[in-house]
Structure 1
Amino acid sequence: MKKILTLSIIFASTSMTLTSCNWAKEKTKTAISKTGEVVGKTGSEFGNGVYNGIKKSFENDIEISEDLKKAGFQIGEVTINSTDSTSDNVLTVYAIFNQKFDKNIRIKVYNEEGKEYGRTSENIKGEKGDAEYIDFNFGTRVKIGAKGNIKIEQIE
């Protein structure tokens, strides 16, 4: 009888230990999961904040000539990119064509003081209702600044 009682006590304490270990393991797993969610969310928000801060710092005033607007040329997002050999010398424009379009376009970049420091031109074609990204490559000496003015005009 003592053996059965002793075995019962050992079995009961082992069961309680295993149950409490599983409980502790589940609680730890839940706590780690919640911590991971918070860290992930915070990291994501931080990353978005950094991206938005960088994106804002590259904003330039962009002017489109009236003749281009009348011809149905509109722009969406404009970004500054780099080539393999030079940084910040490519202006990528999301062009929207509200009418059939086939024109020579010139883009000029100006610094904060209004002094021109780069220009390039391309022949742009698009069908009514189309839209596409267009890269305007400036020379290797041109580094499109964070602040300034960009003018887009039609070449006659």
Structure 2
Amino acid sequence: MKSSTFTILLCVFTLLSCQRVKDKTQETINASGEAVGKSATEFIEGVSEGIDKTLEAKIKLSPNLKTKGIDTGKFTIANNPQGGKDNLLTLYLIFNQDFNDIVFVKVFDKNGLETGRAKLEVTGKKGDANYFDFTFGKRVEIEYRSVIIVE
């Protein structure tokens, strides 16, 4: 009787211990997986931010437009719905003075070679700001690390 009670208690203890070990192992695996997932996400975000910064095109505003009270803000480069790849520049212009003139945009690749031009009649009142779309030809592609001169 004592040996069967001892055997039953030993079996119950073993089963409970195995379940506890299994639960603890599962918790450890889940915590480790979560930590790895967070680290991987942070790594990927850091890499993509670094790529964005090194490959981003740069906007340069001419001194002439600055004296006429124009500043730039955000810009985007997209595919033109009429055809072409990365040939539509949307530029946010800020008017510190009244302005009504034609604005010219030239694009230079990373080697300093001109790749395209566009022009647009731009009108704005002092204190206003707006987005303007500069459309380039279908063969123009505003590449990474391009320099965009606004005159």
TM-score (norm 2): 0.71
SS for the counterpart of 1:35 is: helix
Letter in 1 for 2:147: N
Cα displacement (A) at 1:49: 0.9
Sort the Cα spacing of 1:101 and 1:34 in 2 relative to 1 into closer, same or farther, 3 A: farther
How many residues align structurally? Answer: 150
Q: Does the Cα contact within 8 Å between 1:58 and 1:80 map onto a contact in 2? A: no
Sort the Cα spacing of 1:112 and 1:17 in 2 relative to 1 into closer, same or farther, 3 A: closer
SS for the counterpart of 1:88 is: coil
Q: Does the Cα contact within 8 Å between 1:108 and 1:150 map onto a contact in 2? A: yes
Q: Any unmatched runs of 5+ in structure 2?
A: none
Distance 1:113 1:9 in 2: 82
After superposition, the C-alpha distances for 1:85-110 in whole angstroms (9 at most, x for unaligned) are 32121223233333444443111113
Which residue of structure 1 aligns with residue 102 of structure 2? 104
Sort the Cα spacing of 1:22 and 1:57 in 2 relative to 1 into closer, same or farther, 3 A: same
Which residue of structure 1 aligns with residue 133 of structure 2? 135
Matches within 5 A, 1:14-33: 14=12, 16-33=14-31
Letter in 1 for 2:8: I
Cα displacement (A) at 1:144: 1.6
After superposition, the C-alpha distances for 1:17-52 in whole angstroms (9 at most, x for unaligned) are 235414432432333233233233223322431343
Which residue of structure 2 aligns with residue 36 of structure 1? 34
Q: Any unmatched runs of 5+ in structure 1?
A: none
Distance 2:54 2:122 in 1: 28
Distance 2:10 2:128 in 1: 75
Which residue of structure 2 aligns with residue 65 of structure 1? 62
Letter in 2 for 1:10: I
TM-score (norm 1): 0.69
Distance 2:70 2:102 in 1: 12
Letter in 2 for 1:70: T
User: Identical aligned pairs, as a percentage?
Assistant: 30
Which residue of structure 2 aligns with residue 118 of structure 1? 116
Sort the Cα spacing of 1:130 and 1:37 in 2 relative to 1 into closer, same or farther, 3 A: farther
Letter in 1 for 2:148: I
Letter in 1 for 2:102: N
RMSD in angstroms over aligned alpha carbons? 3.2
Cα displacement (A) at 1:138: 0.8
